[in-house]
Amino acid sequence: MISRWTVVVDRDDLTKTEVLHDELSPELGDCEVLLRVHHVGLTANNVTYGVIGEMIGYWRFFPFAPEGRGVIPVWGFADVVDSTLDALPAGTRVYGYLPMASHFVVRAKLTSSGFVDTADHRAELPAVYNSYLVTSQDPAYDPALEDLQALYRPLFLTSFLLADQLQDNDFHGARTVVISSASSKTAFGTAQCLSGAGVRLVGLTSPRNVEFTTSLGLYDTVLPYDAAVDVEPSVYLDFSGSADLRTTLHDRLGDDLVKDTSIGLTQQKASADPRSEFFFAPEQLRKRTADWGADGLAQRFGEAWRAFTAQAAGWVSVARHSGPDELLEVWQAVLAGKANPDTADVITF
Ligand X SMILES: NC(=O)c1ccc[n+]([C@@H]2O[C@H](COP(=O)([O-])OP(=O)(O)OC[C@H]3O[C@@H](n4cnc5c(N)ncnc54)[C@H](OP(=O)(O)O)[C@@H]3O)[C@@H](O)[C@H]2O)c1
> Which residues contact ligand X (rule: CB under 6 A)?
43-45, 48, 155, 158, 181-186, 205-206, 209, 239-240, 263-268, 279-281, 336-337, 341
CB of 224 to ligand X, least distance (A): 9
CB of 51 to ligand X, least distance (A): 8
Given the DSSP bridges, would you call strands 103-110 and 114-117 parallel, antiparallel or unpaired?
antiparallel
How far apart (Å, rounded) are the C-alpha atoms in residues 116 and 107? 8
Identity of the residue numbered 238: D
Given the DSSP bridges, would you call strands 69-70 and 93-99 parallel, antiparallel or unpaired?
unpaired
CA angle 78, 83, 87 (to 5 degrees): 90
CB of 80 to ligand X, least distance (A): 27
How far apart (Å, rounded) are the C-alpha atoms in residues 88 and 328? 31
CB of 124 to ligand X, least distance (A): 18
Residue 105 or 222 having the CB closest to ligand X: 222
Residue 134 or 335 having the CB closest to ligand X: 335
Residue 268 or 348 having the CB closest to ligand X: 268
CB of 47 to ligand X, least distance (A): 7
Q: Which of 198, 98, 108, 194 is nearest to 153 (CA)?
A: 98
Residue 22 or 220 having the CB closest to ligand X: 220
CB of 41 to ligand X, least distance (A): 9
Are the beta carbons of 41 and 107 closer than 8 angstroms? no
How far apart (Å, rounded) are the C-alpha atoms in residues 13 and 33? 33
- Phi/psi region, residue 254 (left: phi>0; alpha: psi -120 to 50; beta: rest), is left
Measured N-to-C along each axis, helices 281-312 and 185-194 cross at an angle, to the nearest 10 degrees, of 80
Residue 36 or 60 having the CB closest to ligand X: 60
Identity of the residue numbered 324: P
CB of 264 to ligand X, least distance (A): 3
Residue 174 or 222 having the CB closest to ligand X: 222
In this structure, is the dihedral angle defined by the CA atoms of residues 128, 272, 257 and 229, taken in order, positive or negative? negative
Residue 79 or 342 having the CB closest to ligand X: 342
* Helical (H) or strand (E) element with 176: strand 176-179
Residue 157 or 199 having the CB closest to ligand X: 157
- The contacts of residue 49 (CB under 8 Å, 6+ apart) are 56, 58, 72, 73
Are the beta carbons of 155 and 304 closer than 8 angstroms? no
Q: What is the DSSP string of 44-66?
A: HHHHHHHHTHHHHTGGGSS--S-
CB of 139 to ligand X, least distance (A): 23
CB of 153 to ligand X, least distance (A): 11
- CB atoms under 10 Å from CB of 170, counted, come to 9
Residue 122 or 185 having the CB closest to ligand X: 185
